[in-house]
Each structure stands twice: as C-alpha cells, then as structure tokens.
Chain A
C-alpha cells in the first residue's frame, strides 16, 4: 500500500501567517485529498482531487502538487483554522491517510 508522509507533525502559526503542510507519497498518485478534523468531530473533506475546495471551505485554503509531492496552503492563518489536517490518496487501493499535521494558533 502507498505510504503518505506528512510534515510537519505539529506546527503553530500566528494570525495572518502563511501555512504550508506537505504530504509525500511512497509512489506516484493521481490526486491527493485533504481532511480537516477538530476535537470531538468527524473528519471533514476539505480539499479534493488535489486543488478543489470542498463546499464551505474558505478561499484562503489551496492545494497543489503532483506525482509524489503535494501540499495544503493557508494564505493567512485564522483562529478557526486550528485543527488537524490529514492527506489521503485513493489512487491505489486500499486508500491510505497521512499521520496528520496538528496546526495550532500561536
């Protein structure tokens, strides 16, 4: 199965700061998907097919990448963005997830 390696594992950002989370795949994948999860809630699909924002996701979020290297970017950090973000690939079954990046507000 494809292993996804996210970095960093934990990070903090100040309001207004740019944030980038990376996800590296052990083999090439066609697309990457991203989920946001806050404590006590289920994961929410946040970015699908590499760069498409799910319904209701603020435009300050973006996704990019190809092959084995993908990223999620927040142009300007806001308090509500504090959460854990997971990347996921479904190009090869079984679908696999990264270990998560915990983003905290500084």
Chain B
C-alpha cells in the first residue's frame, strides 16, 4: 500500500522559505496526482496544489505567487516550497496521493 511521509523543518522564520519533502513508498509518483494540503491551528483545511504524473502542476490561486511544487522521480519524492512565509502560514502540512492516502503530517511554525 502507498505510504507518504512528510519531512522538513518545524520552525521557519518570517520572510523565509518553507521547504518540505514528501517521500513516497509503495507507488510511483509518475502515476496519479500528488497533493499538498495544510490544516491551520483553527482546524481549517486548505488545498495548496498538486504535481501530476507528468510533472504538470496546479497551485491554489490564493498561493500562486509564493508556491512551488517539484519532484525527483529518481528518489520518488516531491517537494513543497512556500516563499515569504508569515505567521499565518503556521499549520500542519500534509502530502496526499489523490485524496485517498495521506501522510501523517508535519507541523510547521513560523516565528522569529
């Protein structure tokens, strides 16, 4: 069965770049759609974007100027970069295959 695991720093300073990795086992990222979703402290869920089997991407317009999703097929990993973070980007970040398989999530706090 497909398994996803997020990793990255738990603390990021304001104005810096948030960078996360999603490591995938049990499936190839060259098939399907691979998403990033985040959950804010107030429990609101926000869809951030995806990278597809072909490498095409979609970003939530609310983030479009700050977000980048890339991949390394040789490592079967995909990545999230979010630029110019503020305290409002404090959240738990999830990677998910389609919407049926999710990682356990990684908590990121933006604070100086």
- Interface positions of A (Cβ within 8 A of B): 1, 33, 41-45, 48, 54, 84, 86, 88, 90, 93-97, 99-100
Contacts and interface: CB of A to CB of B under 8 A. Distances in A.
A95 B4 CA distance: 20
B61 A94 contact: yes
B60 A42 contact: no
Nearest to A93: B58
Interface of B: 39, 43-47, 58, 60-62, 94, 99-100, 102-105
Nearest to A44: B102
Contact of A96 (B43, B47, B94, B99): B47
A86 B43 CA distance: 10
B72 to A, nearest CB: 23
Main SS class of interface, B = loop
Given A54-B100, A90-B99, A94-B60, A42 B47 contact: no
Contacts, number: 39
A82 B10 CA distance: 29
A42 B103 contact: yes
Contacts of B44: 97, 99
Contact of A86 (B45, B62, B100): B45
Nearest to B43: A100
26 contacts: A1-B61, A33-B99, A41-B104, A42-B94, A42-B103, A42-B104, A43-B39, A45-B99, A48-B100, A84-B43, A86-B45, A88-B45, A88-B99, A90-B99, A94-B47, A94-B58, A94-B60, A94-B61, A94-B62, A95-B47, A97-B44, A97-B46, A99-B43, A99-B44, A100-B43, A100-B45
